[in-house]
Amino acid sequence: MVRRLCLIVAVLAGGWLVSQAYAETFKLANGETLTGEALVSSASDAGVQIKVGDGKYERIPWANFSQEDLKKFAKIQKLQPLVEPFIEVTQEEKIKKTEVNIKQPPRLELPASGSLLGALFSSGPGLLIMLLLYAANIYAGYEIAIFRARPPALVCGVSAVLPFAGPIIFLCMPTLIAPAAETWEPAPEAAPAAGGAEAVNPMAAEGAQHPTGLRLAGSGPSEAAAAGHIEGAEAKPSVPETITYQRGQYTFNRRFIETKFPGFFGVIRRDSDRDMVLIIKSARGEHIGQRISRIAANDLHLVVQRGHASEEVMIPFVEIKEIVVKHKDAK
């Protein structure tokens, strides 16, 4: 009996110790304290229930807890979203939360500063550029040697030794003019000397006769006939040469027509082109006209004579085989 009584006392004492172990003291916002066990399962937006004794519970709103207790509740994962709006954040904590940690990005190291020529010769592309400039310098010396009539070998050699300065020196020098070659041919004035002596021959004058009745061979009827023949040749009117343009040798288009036949576009013809006619041979036949009335990008309009009236004929450029320009009296 005594043993059973001792066991009951031990159980009650253990329960009390366990309840005291889970019991906490909460400081309220109004300065009061509350001892009990917070029931996490009963937590909601309105607050949490505190077990203050056997069968006694009190619901405490979150706003009634002190900041220390609210921070303890925030450590519990289930209660953190419920108590976080009631926790006051100090200015230092705000600064700490909103602080931006600026990290400098990695930067490439700049090469050591040096001269431009050193940088050009230290890289492949720079070396290629320098070689091209050096070759252009020698070629410029060759061109200047031809322009100034200087020995190309001399100018190119100086340009190779003195880049850029050598070509400039020879370019500033005057052009070397070679002296005229001496010849043994007689002067042009000496040739007519014999003819001049013959021109003053008194026997060659018209009407001059030898006392015995003899005449010079050049003053007879044959000389007069030759002179008449020459005068007849000069009196014969000259006809301009006929010019023929064939497809294959020339490209017939608007630019060609406007460039080669500008005199055929005017209504009033000039004296030099007044008697010239334009003969166009095409796939549709041969057309003879004296004026081009219109021209487009692909064809032209030629004014041809049909009896006593004139008519416009449209001729495409692709059909033209040959164009002949000749005088109206030419055969």
Task: Tell me the pLDDT tens digit for each residue of 77-88.
Answer: 888 888 888 888
CB burial of 308-331 (b: ≥16 within 10 Å; e: otherwise) equals eeeeebebebeebebbbbbeeeee
Q: For 255-311, how does the pLDDT look when each residue is reduced to its tens digit (9 = 90+)?
A: 999 988 888 888 777 777 778 888 999 988 898 988 898 999 999 999 998 888 888
- Residue 189 inside a domain? The answer is no
The alpha carbon dihedral of 6, 11, 16, 22 has a sign of positive
- How many domains in the chain? 3
> Is 85 within 8 Å of 63 (Cβ atoms)?
no
Q: Radius of gyration (Cα) for the chain, nearest Å?
A: 62
pTM: 0.31
Chain-wide mean pLDDT for the chain? 77
- Segment 236-253 shows an average pLDDT of 84
- Residue 162 inside a domain? The answer is yes
Residue 55 exposed, middle or buried by CB count within 10 Å (0-12, 13-18, 19+)? exposed
Decide: helix, strand or coil at residue 201. coil
Distance CA 9, CA 270 (A): 149
Give backbone dihedrals phi and psi of 100, rounded to 5 degrees, phi first: -100, 120
Same domain, 134 and 68: no
Give the pairing type, strands 299-306 and 309-316.
antiparallel
- Residue 269 inside a domain? The answer is yes
- Residue 249 inside a domain? The answer is yes
The pLDDT, as a whole number, for residue 198 is 44
Contacts for 190 with CB less than 8 Å, ≥ 6 apart = none
Which amino acid makes up residue 138? I
- Residue 303 inside a domain? The answer is yes
- Domain end, chosen from 172, 191, 209, is at 172
* Other beta carbons within 10 Å of 142: 15
Q: Give how far the C-alpha of residue 140 lies from the chain's centroid of Cα atoms, to the nearest Å.
A: 27
Same domain, 79 and 9: yes
Give kind and range of the element (H or E) at residue 243: strand 243-246
- Residue 114 inside a domain? The answer is no
Distance CA 205, CA 293 (A): 61
Beta-bridged to residue 322, according to DSSP, are 246, 281
The pLDDT, as a whole number, for residue 300 is 93
Which amino acid makes up residue 130? M
Bigger pLDDT: 311 vs 180? 311
- Segment 53-69 shows an average pLDDT of 83
Distance CA 238, CA 136 (A): 57
Nearest-5° Cα angle at 79, 76 to 82: 150
Residue 207 exposed, middle or buried by CB count within 10 Å (0-12, 13-18, 19+)? exposed
- Residue 116 inside a domain? The answer is no
pLDDT tier at 161, thresholds 50, 70, 90: very high
